[in-house]
Amino acid sequence: MKKTLLSAIVLVAVTAALPWVLGDYGVNLATEVYIMAILAMSLGLLMGYAGLVSLGHAAFFGIGAYTVALLGPAIPSTIVLIGLSMVLAGIIAWVTGMIFIRTSRFYFLMITVAFGQLIFALIWQLKSWTGGADGHKVSAPLDFGFGEMGSPLALYAVMAVAMVIVYVFLRVFVNSPAGRIVQGVMDNENRMTALGYNVRFYKVLAYTVAGAIAGLAGSLYAYFNLFVSPELTGWMFSGQVMMMVIIGGVGTLMGPAVGAALFIILQNFISSYTERWPIILGALLVTLVLVGRGGIVHWVGLARTKIFVRQKEASLQKSSSGHLYGK
Amino acid sequence: MSLSILFVQILTGLAYGMLYFMIAAGLTIILGVMNVVNLAHGTFFLIGAYVAYTLVSKHLGFWLALILSVGVTAILGLVIERLLIHRVYGKELEQVLLTFGLTFMLSDAAKWIWGTDIQTIPVPRVLDFSISVGSVDFPAYRLFIVAVGGALAVILWLLENRTRIGAIIRAGVDDRAMVTALGINVGAVFTGVFAFGAALAGLGGVLGGPLIGVYTGLDGDILVTSLIVVTVGGLGSWKGPFVGALLIGLMDTLGKVWFPSFSMLVIFLLMVVILLIRPRGLFGREVAP
Amino acid sequence: MKFARSHFIFSKWKTVLAASALSLALTACGGTTSTGTQSPQGTSASSSDTLKVGMILSATGTFAPLTESIRNGFQLYLDQHNGMLGGRKVEIKFEDDQEDPQVALRKYRQLVSSDKVDILVGPISSAVAYALRDGVEKDKIVLIDPNAAANDLSWKQKSDYIYRVSFSNWQNGSSVAKYIAQNIGKSAVTIAPDYPAGREVIQAFKAAFEASGGKVVKELYPKLGTNDFATYLTTIAQTKPDVVYSFETGSDGIRFVKQYADFGLKGKIPLTGTLELGDNLILDPAGDAAEGIISGVLYTPWLENNVNQTFVTSYQKKYNKLPNIFAVDGYDAAQVIDLAITKAGSTRSDDLIKVLKGISFNSPRGPVTIDPKTNNPIENFYVAKNVKLDGKIVPQVSQTIPNVTMPETPSPAAQ
């Protein structure tokens, strides 16, 4: 657990130092990046550790966000509301996960798209309750028992703490016996079955954990953004989160978070400077594939290897490509 | 609902189904044979339509424009496969990133070239009439699309079952290592398959132009539906996208009649139900790893 | 069992380096913002010689054509006034919200707290307008709305800082309802996309139409982005109303108009509709199929007034095509900012909102006054019929509906 502790300390130090160098808008953007990093890490758990590539993950984010938006007026406690978002997203993930993991590879990808679109359509259609296409305001105050936290810095701190907690939790989870079995199933499902493990249970477990964390990210986003709309659940958004994970590096925990930061910052800044941002962003993605070795985080590792430990280079190659089709 | 109205609805569903078939056929072949999820496939549809629009507005005539733009999309597919796609075989997540990036680039380039105004391709003059069906008219152009789709299904069936190329592709889906061992240039086959798939999407774009118009964002709209068609039908044969496309076309049309306020849900629910009964789609085969 | 994989070995170092990469990236983004901790409210107090205009419109997605027109119109006004509004050199910061309220909010925060714009123009989508509304009010920054038509922006969600220069769904739906009931037919089928604007337009039409003795016998709501209207067209053919009233925009509108002709309804049941059905954006691509449609328009390039003649000539010269209503809305957004700053002698939001209420200007569409009760324009609509002139379909105005004014509160029927 020493590694986990050290990583956490570094994360805390970096996040605590950031507001001193960022301006108002920078703090605001960083806050959003942390929330997206939580979401991307949860999808990273699915893709990189359980081999389940979902294109409907935003649905759980949306469920969390709408839980806060719709139940906020009725439930004053922030803790209860966030907890409820996670439980709700987790339960829905558990139920749908049991059904979806029957399909595999491409079909799993598509059935999760369908799930995301079903949630999207429900929110769109139940307009008397959700506001439909016009979206819905969030009026619940963020309050953990020591006053309302509405200022940008307070929000920043809350999201940073949440990200660190989620990171530590995921680190502990993937190193736990259950987490290792999940990875074992991804690497060789038949072997794990032969060894007597209930393979389906562990897949559903990973899907449920990822869903609940996405729900958490969604509920935090509602507090941050104060406005929710159906776009939060759509496949386009799911696709963007998947981009974050792939850009950052599949098979790592920190990679998706870095991918989220890069994706959001790039998209935001390129689109501010030029109207031709899709071409530039597209070209960047293509270049990344052509020169990349499985994500930014791996580059960092690679650079370090090149400089310090040449002989270990070989071991990096192993963790590059992804698992859309399983093994 | 009177019988003639039902008939019109079914014809409409068939016409749209055939358009989806043209795009989904390419998608499913590329996915089944090459194991590539081509998210840029909708963009070939868009570019085929835009090229045809330009040629028609230069008074080249619909039919010549049709042939030329299908050619252009085939060449575009060829170039993209040779330059980019062939570098990421076997790396599925890189394919997603690459083809997603390509969609961004190509559709923005299309916006740059053709602007944001919505365009339509005029219906060719010989088909610009309607046939009376009971109390309503039915446009002849839609029947033409149904006919083209039917002909395409026959051609794909012949290609798959009666030609050497078809045999190679079938064998490739089942066991790629075997095909390579037989000394067949799989690379060339793959390039051909990709270009052919792109050409089919381009054909769909040109034929769909008079029906659904050409506009920015069309590629995304069409991609999602055709991915659903592919999923419902299953990978690995022409049968999958054909039956899947007709089913989706009909359900989409009839869903509007039966469940007007939930029409957008119908095809997604259909997909979920089919996958629950048949996890590989209706005609899906086990695809080589 | 062997679970150790490369990333476990490197995880510690990677975490450290990745975290640094993250912080670097964030610092880079912070670097472009000013390091001061000035509050957003400070923005409206800037009195320098340049005027920073933040634009939030939708450049990608189905609204892209509208955005292009609005920007063209805005730029044309600037060109005609040496790039100045209210005597200040204008600097435009343009942001694409991709039709997504979430993206729009991020762009909004950037414009207000990082770019420190003085005034905002936008958005296209009503959902985005609702999303921005509370922030605009809190930050006290004036937003000139050149398109978002949601009724509630003038009613329950009205803000002292938001002024619409275009039109509301209520105006668009009710303008020609009386004319249709009196001159075309008493029984109508309506068709509009299944989203809030579609419902609002049809409610407004229905209330005005039935108040004039008409009766809406059927309301059809296809989903937004419908490819095929066959289902709805056959329903219309079976219902046999006197008239069809429709609100279909963009590519949906083109497909609807063409299919209305393809399925043989054109010439049998008169087609009427909102201003979109009399606008070039739909008329040019729809071609002959659009002939004969009667719509309540706010603008046509052939309107006879001095402002319009100059506007059309210079627009055509610059962009090589005819302007549409959205170009006029963009032009007027610039015009209203120009007048307000001149009149207030300041760019401070609180000075601007005093003069924006009740401000009048001469638009290419005719005289316009911003109603202080609703912050929505009082303006003329025109009954137009699409006719073929020199091989081109153009909307021909037959009658003026003067001073279409939004009520101060929703009428009971519209609830």
Tens of pLDDT, residues A8-21 = 787 778 878 888 88
Tens of pLDDT, residues A278-304 = 899 899 889 888 887 666 767 766 666
The token duo for B256 is 């509007």
Binding partners of B (≥3 Cβ pairs within 8 A): A, C
- Mutation pick from A285, A293, A319 vs chain B, by most beta carbons of B within 10 Å, is A285
Mean pLDDT of A122-150: 87
Out of A192-196, A284-288, B154-158, C409-413, pick the least confident: C409-413
Chain A residues in contact with C29 (beta carbon < 8 A): 22, 26, 29-30, 265, 268-269
Mean pLDDT of B61-65: 94
> Which has more pLDDT, B288 or C225?
C225
The C-alpha atoms of residue C342 and residue C87 are separated, in whole angstroms, by 7
CA-to-CA dists, residue C318 to C79, C315, C394, angstroms: 10, 5, 21
For C320-345, give the DSSP string: SS---HHHHHHHHHHHHHHHHHHHHT
What lies within 8 Å, CB to CB, of B255 at 6+ separation is B262, B263, B266, B267
Beta-carbon separation of C101 and A231 below 8 A: yes
| pLDDT reading at B41 higher than 60 | yes
Question: Which band of pLDDT confidence, cut at 50, 70 and 90, is reported for residue A311?
Answer: very low
pLDDT at C294: 96
Min Cα–Cα distance to chain C from B156, Å:
27
Tens of pLDDT, residues A231-241 = 999 888 999 99
Chain A residues in contact with B228 (beta carbon < 8 A): 110, 114
pLDDT at A291: 82
Binding partners of A (≥3 Cβ pairs within 8 A): B, C
Tell me, yes or no, if C42 comes closer than 8 A to chain A by beta carbon.
Answer: no
pLDDT at B162: 86
| pLDDT reading at A151 higher than 90 | no
Scanning A230-269 for CB atoms below 8 A from C yields 231-232, 251-255, 257-258, 261-262, 265, 268-269
What lies within 8 Å, CB to CB, of A27 at 6+ separation is A18, A19, A152, A153, A156, C30
pLDDT at C82: 94
The C-alpha atoms of residue A48 and residue A44 are separated, in whole angstroms, by 5
- Mutation pick from B2, B56, B120, B258 vs chain C, by most beta carbons of C within 10 Å, is B120
Beta-carbon separation of C21 and A21 below 8 A: no
> Domain segments of chain A: what residues?
1-234
pLDDT at A269: 85
Chain A residues in contact with C37 (beta carbon < 8 A): 23-24
**CB distance C160 to C137 below 8 Å:** yes
DSSP 8-class letter at A326: -
Out of A297-301, A321-325, B183-187, C100-104, pick the least confident: A321-325
Scanning B221-250 for CB atoms below 8 A from A yields 224, 227-228, 230-231, 235
DSSP 8-class letter at C269: S
Chain B residues in contact with C281 (beta carbon < 8 A): 117-118
Min Cα–Cα distance to chain C from A192, Å:
10
Min Cα–Cα distance to chain C from A76, Å:
21
Min Cα–Cα distance to chain C from B231, Å:
21
The C-alpha atoms of residue B207 and residue B85 are separated, in whole angstroms, by 27
Number of B:C CB contacts under 8 A?
A: 96
What lies within 8 Å, CB to CB, of A235 at 6+ separation is A55, A56, A58, A113, A116, A117, A120, B224
Min Cα–Cα distance to chain A from B108, Å:
6
pLDDT at C80: 95
Min Cα–Cα distance to chain C from B217, Å:
6
pTM of the shown model = 0.87
pLDDT at C198: 93
Closest-CA residue of chain B to C268 = B136
Tell me, yes or no, if A288 comes closer than 8 A to chain B by beta carbon.
Answer: yes
pLDDT at A317: 43
Q: Which residue has the tokens 């609703």?
A: C374
Tens of pLDDT, residues B69-105 = 999 999 999 999 999 998 888 888 888 889 989 999 9
Chain C residues in contact with A133 (beta carbon < 8 A): 127, 195-196
- Mutation pick from C218, C231, C248 vs chain B, by most beta carbons of B within 10 Å, is C231
- Amino acid present at A207: Y
pLDDT at A270: 87
Q: Please give the mean pLDDT across all residues of chain C.
A: 87
The token duo for B36 is 């590539």
- Mutation pick from C1, C5, C6 vs chain A, by most beta carbons of A within 10 Å, is C6
Local structure of B25: helix, strand or coil: helix
Closest-CA residue of chain C to B117 = C65
Q: Looking at the partner chain, which of A102, A109, A279 has a beta carbon nearest the beta carbon of B104?
A: A279
Scanning C319-358 for CB atoms below 8 A from A yields none
**CB distance B24 to B241 below 8 Å:** yes
- pLDDT tens string for chain C (415 positions)? 333 333 333 344 455 555 555 555 555 444 443 333 334 444 444 445 899 999 999 988 778 889 999 999 999 999 999 999 999 999 999 999 988 999 999 999 999 988 999 999 999 999 999 999 999 999 999 999 999 999 999 999 999 999 999 999 999 999 999 999 999 999 999 999 988 899 999 999 999 999 999 999 999 998 888 888 888 998 898 899 999 999 998 888 999 999 999 888 999 999 999 999 999 889 988 989 999 999 999 999 999 999 999 999 999 999 999 999 999 999 999 999 999 999 999 999 999 999 999 999 999 999 999 999 999 999 999 999 999 998 899 999 999 999 999 999 887 644 4
What lies within 8 Å, CB to CB, of C241 at 6+ separation is C185, C187, C188, C189, C217, C218, C269
Min Cα–Cα distance to chain C from A321, Å:
13
Number of A:B CB contacts under 8 A?
A: 132
- Mutation pick from B8, B106, B111, B116 vs chain C, by most beta carbons of C within 10 Å, is B116
> Domain segments of chain B: what residues?
18-215
Number of A:C CB contacts under 8 A?
A: 182
Tell me, yes or no, if C92 comes closer than 8 A to chain A by beta carbon.
Answer: no
The C-alpha atoms of residue A73 and residue A156 are separated, in whole angstroms, by 24
- Mutation pick from C62, C124, C234, C266 vs chain B, by most beta carbons of B within 10 Å, is C234
Mean pLDDT of A1-9: 71
What lies within 8 Å, CB to CB, of A20 at 6+ separation is none
Q: Looking at the partner chain, which of A102, A242, A250 has a beta carbon nearest the beta carbon of B279?
A: A102
pLDDT at C299: 96
The C-alpha atoms of residue A111 and residue A131 are separated, in whole angstroms, by 26
pLDDT at C123: 96
Scanning A2-61 for CB atoms below 8 A from B yields 47, 53
Tens of pLDDT, residues A65-108 = 999 999 999 998 999 999 999 999 999 999 999 999 888 778 89
Residue ranges of chain B whose CB lies within 8 Å of a chain C CB: 2, 5, 8-9, 12, 16, 111, 115-120, 122, 130, 132, 135-139, 141, 211-213, 215-218, 221, 253, 256-257, 260-261, 263-264
Min Cα–Cα distance to chain A from C332, Å:
23
Tell me, yes or no, if A22 comes closer than 8 A to chain C by beta carbon.
Answer: yes
